[in-house]
Structure 1
């Protein structure tokens, strides 16, 4: 049921928002040189690597200029990128990852391979026992304010409690978070 829901919602949103995709692509191209999309290796179900898609929000080759995590006021983020991150529009291309089966709408956010060392064997096995998601319990409740420890606890809690109804709650809470951030600006 989860896969069918993921596929139906992703295809509907992709078809409905194609004008937004086009507008974002044009804005990125006009804002700074480089590709419209950013593809990065992430870790998925069972620890299997996959390429995750995002709209590019940073200068070209930003991953060679610093950490895999960004900080407030990170100089690598482009002006259009600031807007895309604030509104979460940079995440829209991950719907393609959902369609291909590498991701789900809801699950722990996928890590880069270098983050493997941040976990115990048990934590890693549990965290990668489900598909990673575009949004998760940590994003729905803390957005990007969660500490690494809080994020891990919420990711593992999601794995333990996962259900269709929890996914619906997380999706609604995520929408509320994005709208709250947008209206506060």
Structure 2
């Protein structure tokens, strides 16, 4: 019973931290929004925001919001295979500084995401996870997470998922605060933005048995 109470207390406190933290984050970063939006509009046109359905808690879909970092595909250009070519200089800067992630703070306020948790990936990956990897959806996805502060996109998919599941098994308020503090250092150092030779990461096709 004490374990159940502790879990409820943690979830309640974490939600309070999410609301206060995302609200404070939006207020502190407010001066960056107009320049970022103007830069996206001038170099990539409309829309300014990138919206995509991602799996949340339990794999249930929600619409994630970010600043757009890629131009639209040219006629005949494969949207799924042209990330590196479509990433603009402005978009690369937004990613390197994590400014593109600021709109996800609204997802945190709405309760679809948390400040800390496994990153929300693509809906089409859901059927590609092993049962162990799928455990990453036992918690809300996060703006940052244990995998992000331990290599980010420089990790292999299997390494990222192992970090995600480790977080699920070890989550605590102290760990969340530690991850948030480490995230600030990682963002300032601009580490692990992309996998070698890629704009972000290669597509996850599943783990061989």
TM-score by length of 1: 0.90
Instruction: Note the alpha carbon deviations across 1:78-127, whole angstroms, 9 max, x for none.
Output: 11101001111100000000000000000000121111122123431x21
Aligned runs of 1:37-48 on 2, under 5 Å? 37-48=49-60
- 1:137 is matched with 146
Matched, 1:163 2:177: no
Q: Hey, what's the Cα distance between the residues in 2 that align with 1:2 and 1:64?
A: 40
Q: Which of 76, 100, 112 is equivalent to 1:102?
A: 112
Q: Distance in 1 between matches of 2:62 and 2:78?
A: 20
Deviation at 1:139, TM superposition (A): 0.6
**Moved segments of 4+, more than 3 Å:** 61-64
Are 2:128 and 1:114 aligned?
A: no
- In structure 2, C-alpha distance between the alignment counterparts of 1:3 and 1:78, rounded to whole Å: 35
Q: 1: CA distance between counterparts of 2:123 and 2:131?
A: 14
Match of 1:50 in 2: 62
Which residue of structure 2 aligns with residue 179 of structure 1?
188
What is the CA RMSD across the aligned residues, in angstroms? 1.8
Relative to structure 2, which stretch is displaced further, 43-52 or 28-37? 28-37
SS in structure 2 of the partner of residue 20 of structure 1: helix
Structure 2 CA distance, aligned partners of 1:114 and 1:17? 32
Number of residue pairs aligned between Structure 1 and Structure 2: 177
Tell me the residue number matched to 2:17: 5
Task: Give per-residue Cα distances to partners, 1:49-76, cap 9 Å, x unaligned.
Answer: 0000000000135996124x95xxx011
**Preserved CA contact (<8 Å) 1:41 1:52:** yes
Moved more, 8-17 or 78-87: 8-17
**How far is 1:31 from its partner?**
1.1
Structure 1: tracts of 5 or more residues without a match: none
Structure label with greater radius of gyration: 2
Unmatched 5+ residue regions in structure 2? 1-12, 192-209
Q: 1:103 touches 1:131 (CA, 8 Å); kept in 2?
A: yes
Confirm whether residue 66 of structure 1 aligns to residue 76 of structure 2.
no
Match of 1:76 in 2: 86
- Take 1:37 and 1:61, find their aligned partners in 2: how far apart are those partners? 16
Distance in structure 2 (CA, Å) of the matches to 1:3 and 1:25: 29
